[in-house]
A and B are shown apart, each in its own frame.
Chain A
């Protein structure tokens, strides 16, 4: 059992591209669910369109990556409009159902064999993200590593991480600016009581739509980073659990806070990777009975996700406001 390796792995996951993608997805979801009270259960749909929009534009149409990225973001925006117009006036539960269904439908369409010519279908799509990595200032030889022990990244990863975390910081700051404004105050009033907002002259539909679009585009950014990181996209990467991981990160960090989604994403990946590494090492221990070792072997990933879920349940029971949330605000919910 080498805890240096376990912590190294966990830290690498916590600061690596996966955490960045999750953080962006959670920042977007925080605008929907945290600040506006929209029950969006299809955040993965926005991520998927961001990733596929970018990938398909470059791989299928041969356009520049710098054209592909805006296309990905635009598709995420378009999804927000398409989802919002028919459903935002309906009951919150209807909205939740439509979002989860829409994201699954899009994934199935993208991954269908009929779509092979466009999206690669079930085979996934890959493209050359050279335009992005050409700008990489980090030395990227086969021996170049940045970090200590297992907490180390290649030059390419460093470039993704640098740009990614800068983007997270910028987006978080932007969200801070709009949420602390009178505009953000209207969102919070809608979250609490739409009719109160209406009685004060606020056009609730319009504000919900704006929130849906902004959070959706931020979700699209997560997809763009994902596409660049993997130089492509795969339909299996956009199953509904991505949305639930995003909710987990958001709830861990604290909904309706500025840093909650970012801290939550870091913590989510740290915990998940820590547990997985730990189990992997455990399975290799000689003293473990063979049956248990066999059971652990290969299922570390599933168990670690289960453990993160358990952590979430415990958190909801004992600290429902998340790490950064405000306890008093939370208690007012009970009324």
Chain B
């Protein structure tokens, strides 16, 4: 269990400029900057590739994506107005909802029978727009649930503590580190139900990291979080990418996005209408139109 997956608070860059200068900029992010910013464009090293993904509810097409790639090792923001299909897209990819049609590939492997738990075990973990912290379990127990490959989670081994005591110990140490980083250490033994909304978002994110995932998908991690906590959440997201984890997060506020995203994908009415570097996208006329609720360019009524 690598303890240094996420740099601790002290070593993390705490202002944007030093972050911009960090090594990651050249090794991971520079290739993406050369990608031509247009919807569905191919990327140098994608971790997730979607094709013809479609999901409709009755007459409403919630998601309809021709082609979309998510670059490995960077922070991608998925933005779009309310009801654009962002959460539905997350649900499809992570196996919580069934697509009407379409295929996607994760980490070089086609996802054939999408089951949420199997995908999670393959390294794709998500959080939920409405947090799913387990209220009646302690904060620490929540964290321990996130740990992968637990011997003690198998029935035959469960009654025999010596078989799983050491692993549990190691997982607890890892959990304590993460709780420390996410400023939740003081709540360690409290029931998760006693946390504030923002703390629950932090807990859910920290819990997702227990498995050392390859791809973390965060659904509106900043929503309902007070500004001080939101700031530290943003910090955690950049730190994650620094440690090599791919992050995709949903946000509908465009202003939050520019600070921490390496790449931005804009969804409107289920379709990718723009993607590119944050500054480019945010000043894109099509995007501004979508946000202002105007008819999209080129579509007739």
Contact = CB atoms under 8 A, between A and B. Distances in A.
A182 B158 CA distance: 7
A332 to B, nearest CB: 4
Contacts of A188: 134, 136-137, 141
A196 B155 contact: no
A197 B151 CA distance: 17
Contacts of A192: 134-137
A102 B120 CA distance: 35
Given A195-B128, A200-B145, A202-B117, A332 B158 contact: no
B137 A185 contact: yes
B132 A196 contact: yes
Interface string B86-127: 000000001010000000000000000001111011000111
Interface size class of B (residues with CB under 8 A): 35 or more
B215 to A, nearest CB: 13
A202 B144 CA distance: 12
A162 interface: no
B137 A198 contact: no
A204 B191 contact: no
A332 B117 contact: no
Contacts of A116: none
Contacts of B133: 196
15 contacts: A177-B159, A181-B159, A181-B164, A185-B141, A188-B137, A193-B132, A198-B115, A198-B120, A200-B146, A201-B120, A201-B125, A202-B153, A210-B155, A332-B191, A332-B193
Given A177-B158, A182-B144, A193-B134, 19 more contacts: A177-B161, A178-B155, A181-B158, A182-B151, A183-B152, A183-B157, A189-B137, A189-B145, A193-B132, A196-B134, A197-B117, A200-B120, A200-B125, A201-B121, A201-B211, A328-B191, A329-B136, A332-B136, A332-B191
Interface of B: 94, 96, 115-118, 120-121, 125-128, 132-137, 141, 144-146, 148, 150-155, 157-159, 161, 164, 168, 191, 193-194, 207-208, 211
